[in-house]
Amino acid sequence: MNKNPLFWRNPDYGQQAALPFSQADLFDAVARWERFAPYLERTFPETIATHGIIESPLIRLEHLQESWTELNSLGLNGKLFLKADNQLPISGSIKSRGGIYEILKFAEQIAMVEADLVYQDNYQILASAKYRKLFANYGVIVTSTGNLALGVGIVAAAFGFKTTVYMSHDARQWKKDKLRANGVTVKEFTTDFSHVITQARADASRDPRIHFVDDEGSADLFLGYAVAAVHLQKQLQQHHIKVDSTHPVVVYLPAGVGGSPSGVTFGLKTIIGPNIHAVFCEPTHVPSVTLGMMTKLNDQICVQDIGLDGLTAADGLAVSRPSRLAGNIMRTLLFGSVTFAEPDIFRYVAQLMDTQQIAVEPSAAAGFTAIPTITKNVSAFNTPDTTHIVWATGGNLLPENEKIANYIQGKALL
């Protein structure tokens, strides 16, 4: 309530729990991504190099780690990496995973029920005029502070769906402009995400041909994010990173509504196992998932209930009420969470650019803010055998003037 940065260590971490999703659900999502790879490669030329696979590199941050002592007045043991979802094709953010996946599944269902698509088809045919005409009979509505809108909006419009994005007051103008340029209808509101999503859900419910992408509780979004773990497992192997009780891997994930970091965390624990540990990172003004989990009220409490304003420059994290899925599923899977003061993310934006020439949006630098707190408080995560992975959630589509402004703001704080 005092907006002081904190570290909350989850007392239920590692306990047994019945989860609503299984490894089979995750691999069903993997298979769907693979079926759609030919369609994505044909429709989005930026995926040709990866043959239609939506994935990002794992980058060693040697130069940033070398300057860590200067920035934080303490050293960093182990190795530091960036999971560069800021480079994901199509929407330039982690929302390419869940948002695009949900639209792929919706399109597949329509094509199989209303037309003659079968699993063995080359899904490139979904880009044909026949299917675009079919998809034009359907609509998609999504609410977003920015990045989910880009992932859902760009792909849904490409299929031919009538696509409408409801955007809260925190959304950046350039994201609205890009959506409109891609044929998406953007409805702007002066209220925050939690109020806007209620309106969008009600509007979508009036028409059975409109699919509502529910960032507060969608199973398809969740599983789309979870697939990241399958690719990360291979990347860890390629970097010769061991994962066992003496070689822990700590993954730092920015959290807004909590859907994407929760989906990723579920995937990591399901695919890689008990020795990879997830930490959520949230602004002190909008610690919605932390608040929900600390109180065990989950989505039944929002930050305004305890007198916080919910305001942050990290637009992707500006969500006052957490996902219905996040707290319940993370109850035993999340190691803990850390909240940060606003200037910290800008410092890391500048530091990442200075040392590695990598540009991310402010919310995507949130993971760095948790490392000093975690390494001070958890001795097992501060050894030469620890691997630290910061999940950079967005940034590649940032206009150049925004990148420069963020960098200047961060540089002034160093």
- The answer to whether the CB of 326 falls within 8 A of the CB of 259 is yes
**245 phi/psi in degrees, rounded to 5:** -65, -25
In angstroms, the CA 93 to CA 85 distance is 5
DSSP summary character for residue 170:
T
- The answer to whether the CB of 281 falls within 8 A of the CB of 338 is yes
For 238-251, what is each residue's pLDDT tens digit? Answer: 999 999 999 999 99
Q: What angle do CA 152, 38, 361 make, to 5 degrees?
A: 40
Q: CATH fold of 95-218, please? A: Rossmann fold (3.40.50)
**Residue 267, both tokens:** 């995937």
**What pLDDT score does 412 carry?**
97
- The answer to whether the CB of 392 falls within 8 A of the CB of 367 is yes
pLDDT-derived band at 170 (thresholds 50, 70, 90) equals confident
> Which strands, in side-by-side order, build the sheet including 387-392?
7-9, 336-340, 276-283, 249-254, 387-392, 79-84, 58-60
**Residue 402: which residues within 8 A CB-CB, separation 6 or more?**
172, 174, 361
Please compute, for residue 311, the number of CA atoms within 13 A of its CA located in the half-sphere on the CB side. 2
**Residue 224: which residues within 8 A CB-CB, separation 6 or more?**
29, 97, 98, 99, 100, 101, 102, 263
**What pLDDT score does 311 carry?**
93
**57 phi/psi in degrees, rounded to 5:** -75, 160
% of the chain residues with pLDDT over 90: 93
| pLDDT greater than 80 at residue 193 | yes
Q: Is the pTM of this model over 0.85?
A: yes
| pLDDT greater than 80 at residue 146 | no
**Where do we find the tokens 């609205």?**
176
Please compute, for residue 371, the number of CA atoms within 13 A of its CA located in the half-sphere on the CB side. 35
In angstroms, the CA 34 to CA 108 distance is 13
- As a dihedral over the C-alpha atoms of residue 325, residue 328, residue 331, residue 335, rounded to 10 degrees, the angle is 10
For 286-317, what is each residue's pLDDT tens digit? Answer: 999 999 999 999 999 999 999 999 999 998 89
- The answer to whether the CB of 71 falls within 8 A of the CB of 414 is yes
Q: What single letter denotes the amino acid at residue 51?
A: H
In angstroms, the CA 274 to CA 335 distance is 11
| pLDDT greater than 80 at residue 233 | yes
For 338-381, what is each residue's pLDDT tens digit? Answer: 999 999 999 999 999 999 999 999 999 999 999 999 999 999 99
**CA dist list (Å): 327 to 216, 217, 319:** 11, 11, 14
- The answer to whether the CB of 265 falls within 8 A of the CB of 253 is yes
Enumerate the domain spans of the chain. Answer: 7-23+54-91+222-411, 95-218
pLDDT-derived band at 177 (thresholds 50, 70, 90) equals very high
Fold equal for 7-23+54-91+222-411 and 95-218: yes
**What pLDDT score does 282 carry?**
98
Closest CA to 163 of 94, 102, 235, 227: 102
Class of domain 7-23+54-91+222-411: alpha beta
**What pLDDT score does 312 carry?**
93
**What pLDDT score does 132 carry?**
97
pLDDT-derived band at 194 (thresholds 50, 70, 90) equals confident
Q: Strand pairing of 79-84 and 58-60?
A: antiparallel
**CA dist list (Å): 64 to 67, 127, 206, 228:** 5, 43, 51, 24
For 73-85, what is each residue's pLDDT tens digit? Answer: 888 999 999 999 9
Mean pLDDT, to the nearest integer, of 276-290? Answer: 98
Average pLDDT, the chain: 96
